[in-house]
Amino acid sequence: MNVKLAVVSWILFCFLSGVVEAQSVAVRLKLGVLAPRIESDLWEENLETFAIERSDFDALIVGVVFSIELSEYVELAFGVETSSSTVFSNYRDFVFDDGDEILQDLTLRTTPVTAGVRVFPIGKFHRVFPYVTGGGGLYVYEYREEGEFVDFDTFDIHGDLFLDRGVAYGGYLGAGVEVGVSELATIFGEYRRHWARGTHGGDFQGFGRFDLGANQMSFGVNLRF
């Protein structure tokens, strides 16, 4: 709870400080690909049990970022993004008596809510200009497994749903390039690396830490007001 309070306080502090100092504001609309690392004891077990790979959970991510310009070289950025991926899997080593696969749907949803800064080494008053970015926030997630499962005590097969919802705390670093297309609009490409860790709960209580770190590549448009 103290960590959550600290993160929320950081976001509010950055926002209020930015409003006071703002020279202009902008809205960034983003679309990209998120490639989660999704590491935990649960995932090591799943990779051995089910016919899946980590890369199966790569997913589209969409988001909006509200930016507050402090100077030609610095902006505050407050963003919300979301991604969802569902993988259709089966057991590697077990099938029904008639040979049919034992099927499951595995779904991972993540919603990062972040606050950070963007720094423009050569300023923004150029047709093409690079930037670096970094910050922290809350990574809201939901992981579910739904379908048919083997009870390894009796080897019976039954339908079930297992669910874990939580919040991970983390941060990100990234870099990108913007290209001006008009006085008030730019397009951009950005790479971002996320670090975030939560703890498995719900139906997966006892599996320990849940690493939600990810690589992200995004493109979009930035509109200034």
Average model confidence (pLDDT) for the chain? 89
Residue 20 pLDDT level (bands cut at 50, 70, 90): very low
Burial (0-12, 13-18, 19+ Cβ within 10 Å), 221: middle
For residue 7, what pLDDT band results from cuts at 50, 70 and 90? low
Give the SS3 label for residue 32: strand
Q: Looking at residues 209-216, what average pLDDT do you find? A: 92
**Can you tell me the mean pLDDT for 3-22?**
52
CATH number, domain containing residue 20: 2.40.160.20
User: Which pLDDT does position 24 carry in this prediction?
Assistant: 81
Q: What is the pLDDT of residues 198-208, one digit of tens each?
A: 899 999 998 98
Q: How many domains does the chain have?
A: 1
Full DSSP string of 137-192: EEEEEEEEEEEEEE-TTT--EEEEEEEEEEEEEEEEEEEEEEEESSSSEEEEEEEE
pLDDT digits (tens, 9 = 90+) for 158-210: 999 999 999 999 999 999 999 999 988 999 999 999 999 889 999 999 898 88
* Residue 22 confidence (pLDDT) above 70: no
Query: What size, in residues, is the chain?
Result: 225
**Domain ranges, residue 6:** 2-92+100-224
Beta strand pairing status for 128-150 and 185-199? Answer: unpaired
Per-residue pLDDT at 12 exceeds 80: no
The pLDDT tens digits of the residues spanning 110-141 come to 999 999 999 999 998 889 999 999 999 999 99
Of the candidates 115, 113, 123, which has an alpha carbon nearest to the alpha carbon of residue 81? 113
Contact present, 32 and 174 (Cβ < 8 Å): no
Per-residue pLDDT band at 10 (split at 50, 70, 90) = low
121 CB-near residues (< 8 Å, 6+ apart): 73, 130, 131, 132
Question: What would the mean pLDDT of 92-96 be, rounded to a whole number?
Answer: 92
